[in-house]
Amino acid sequence: MTKHTPGPWCLTEEEGEDGTPEIVVTSTHDISGLDDDVGCLVYGGNDDNADVKRANARLIAAAPSMLAALEGLLDQLVAIGIPDWHGAEGLDLDQARAAIARATRAADPPVGAARR
């Protein structure tokens, strides 16, 4: 399994080299051996979708803690003997397991392939 950069991650807004605004998600975890922050540029430029891109960046920044919480909840439900819980509105532990698998899979699909 490919490891993601440890959380917590944070969202920062800064000015890019060309003077346009950038929204960047970076890890606040000390990663030895790397000179720069490890992160991703979520938005760079000026357009009407900045608010949507800011919301996407917040979701990306929250991903490590959401993954850890989901893994912990799943472990607890299995530990107390509820390995196949099915809740209201079609929610169940198989969906939780599938979400964890998508977040932790070893390889990404080929470029251009549909992602789920």
Q: Domain boundaries in the chain? A: 9-104
Q: Which long-range contacts (CB under 8 A, 24 or more apart) does 98-107 make?
A: 99/70, 100/67, 100/70, 100/71, 100/74, 103/4, 103/63, 103/67, 104/1, 104/2, 104/4, 104/67, 105/1, 105/2, 106/1, 106/2, 107/2
pLDDT at 25: 83
Task: Convert the pLDDT of each residue in 18-48 to its tens digit.
Answer: 887 788 887 776 655 554 556 677 767 677 7
Alpha helices in 1-116 (DSSP H): 50-79, 93-104
What's the predicted TM-score (pTM) here?
Answer: 0.68
Kindly report the backbone phi and psi dihedral angles of residue 48, in degrees, each rounded to the nearest multiple of 5, phi listed first: -80, -5
